[in-house]
Structure 1
Amino acid sequence: MDESETFDPETRDAREVAAEAGQEPTDFLSLLPHYYRGEVGQMSTAISRLDLTIDWAIGVIAAVLALSFASVDSPPYFLLIGMLALTIFLVFDVRRYRSFDATRSRVRMIEENVFANAFNPEGSVHREWRSELADDLRKPTLKVSIREAITRRLRRVYLPLLSVLLVAWLFRISLFVPGERWFETAAVPGVPGTVVVVIVLSYYLVSLAVTLWPTSRQAKGEYHAVEPGEWKRDE
């Protein structure tokens, strides 16, 4: 290869090759689909990771329920271990959900301002969408606060799963073994049953408060507060 044809990334022309593509409509439109497919691929991977965490959470619930109700001699604190495991899964899930939403926000920015405008040029377009997208690519930021992410994941997934364990635990310490007093059954080694019950109920009250506490929405989702049209239906 001739030296004049080699690519030197330190030269001014090499650094500005992408900038030139961004100024030419034809070059920009040929570059955009490749970037869009890459973002969609990252978003799909993030969704798969979220689904995997939920699958593990459901598997843990099935395991602790089987162990706790296998016989009257099975210790009920297996269900408490399941609650702890779900809480750990929630922590992982929140971090993954925030990363997923950051990618989804970029995908939605392109869909709203490029593809939607191609279908209907009369619609609204965010005037600074290219600058905002470029800034986010240079310095990626999370769009959803930890509090909102916890609230959304509790509301959609983890509070129902935790509720299953709570109902099972209350049944296990009260009715599963006739003749046993609940505070004796609820006890774990070194901790009285009354203390265990107070801790568990306090945990669920806090979880319920976090789930129901109103927060301003920052997540870049779809199908929320949208009036159904001719081809959209309420599920």
Structure 2
Amino acid sequence: MSEDDVFDPCGEVERDIGRGMFEEEMGPGSSMAHLYRGEIHRMKFWRERLDRTTNWAVTILAAISTWAFTGDTPHFVVLIGMVMLTVFLVIEARRYRGYDLWRSRVRMLQENVFANALDPTTGIEDPAWRRELSEDYRRPKIKITFEEALAHRLRRVYLPLLTVLLVAWLVRITAFDGATHWPASAAVGAVPGVVVSGVVAAFFVGVTAVACRPRTWKANGELRLTDVDVWSDAE
């Protein structure tokens, strides 16, 4: 092998780089297998970070809900719980964007390498996947917007949790404030109850719109009910 063979971009050596990554005789110890293990490990690490944030959010929900109906606890502690859950939502949306970076690579390898290796008769659906994956390794980039990440986490976790707190707050200001009736019972200090109720209503309209508005999802490999085949008894 000469020096020209190594540095010539049109040389045979340059064209052969990476050819052995997909050969059957390489077996499970091939560089592709190690690459896949590494991507799985990174995806698992970011998945655990998401779960950790969710666990804290559920813990706070349980604590706030219990405290709000104990003794003379003011109703606005439930609103504080909503604020805390929103903070966790923002943190988790940022982490979800990082998780999607690794998850998208794993799904690309599963769809184009392992699925075709197990059933080679199906052919390659996306012949440009190697170039796409190569570019992603050269210049990694976040693939989904922050707003889409918020929508994912709201649909999966936070919209139900926030709804539980909303119901708890409504019960607290309507059934546990004695002679004070809504909207006066929703007041927080000098802020009238109508204003507080309006802010809460606007917040829930906003998060519901983010979670449920029609969109083209960019997250690659995010499994939804419409994407998963349901096995029936007849099958």
Task: Identify the residue that residue 222 of structure 1 maps to in structure 2.
Answer: 223
Q: For 1:6-25, what aligned pairs fall within 5 Å after superposition?
A: 22-24=18-20, 25=23
The CA distance in 2 between the partners of 1:43 and 1:167, in whole Å, is 35
TM score, norm. by length of structure 1 = 0.84
How big is the shift at 1:95?
0.8
User: Hey, which bits of structure 1, 4+ residues long, moved more than 6 A?
Assistant: none
> Could you say if the C-alpha distance between residues 63 and 99 of structure 1 is closer, same or farther in structure 2, counting changes exceeding 3 Å?
same
Aligned partner of residue 41 in structure 2, secondary structure: helix
| Letter in structure 1 aligned against 2:31 | L
Q: Cα RMSD (Å) of the superposition?
A: 2.5
**1 CA distance for matches of 2:228 and 2:205?**
33
5+ residue gaps in structure 1?
A: 1-10
CA distance in 2, matches of 1:18, 1:43: 31
2:150 is aligned to 150
Q: Which moved further from structure 2: 217-226 or 140-149?
A: 217-226
When residues 233 and 150 of structure 1 are mapped into structure 2, their CA distance, relative to the original with a 3 A threshold, is farther
Corresponding residue SS for 2:18 = helix
C-alpha spacing 1:22/1:224, structure 2 compared with 1 (3 Å): farther
SS at match of 2:142: coil
Counterpart in the other structure of 2:64? 64
How far apart, in 1, do the equivalents of 2:138 and 2:15 lie?
Answer: 14
Judged with a 3 Å threshold, the aligned counterparts in structure 2 of structure 1 residues 63 and 227 are, in CA distance, closer, same or farther, namely closer
Partners of 1:192 and 1:38 in 2: CA distance:
55
Alpha-carbon spacing, 1:185–1:223, altered in 2? closer, same or farther (3 Å)? closer
Where does residue 173 of structure 1 map in the other structure? 173
Quote the Cα distance in structure 2 between the aligned partners of 1:163 and 1:23: 53
For 2:106, the equivalent position in structure 1 comes to 107
User: Which segment is superposed worse, 197-206 or 138-147?
Assistant: 138-147
Asked if the contact 1:21–1:28 (Cα under 8 Å) also holds between the matched residues in 2, the reply is no
Match runs of 1:1-235 below 5 Å: 22-24=18-20, 25=23, 30-71=30-71, 73-125=72-124, 126-220=126-220, 221-226=222-227, 228=229, 232=231
- Secondary structure of 1:122's aligned partner: helix
Residues 1:209 and 1:112: Cα distance change in structure 2 (over 3 Å):
same
Give CA deviations for 1:52-87 in whole Å, capped at 9, x if unaligned. 11111111111111221111x211110000000111
Structure 1 residue identity aligned to 2:115: A
Relative to structure 1, is the Cα distance of residues 153 and 198 closer, same or farther in structure 2, using a 3 angstrom cutoff? same
Deviation string 1:95-133 (CA, Å, 9 cap, x unpaired) is 111111111110011111111111111224221222111
Letter aligned with residue 207 of structure 2: S
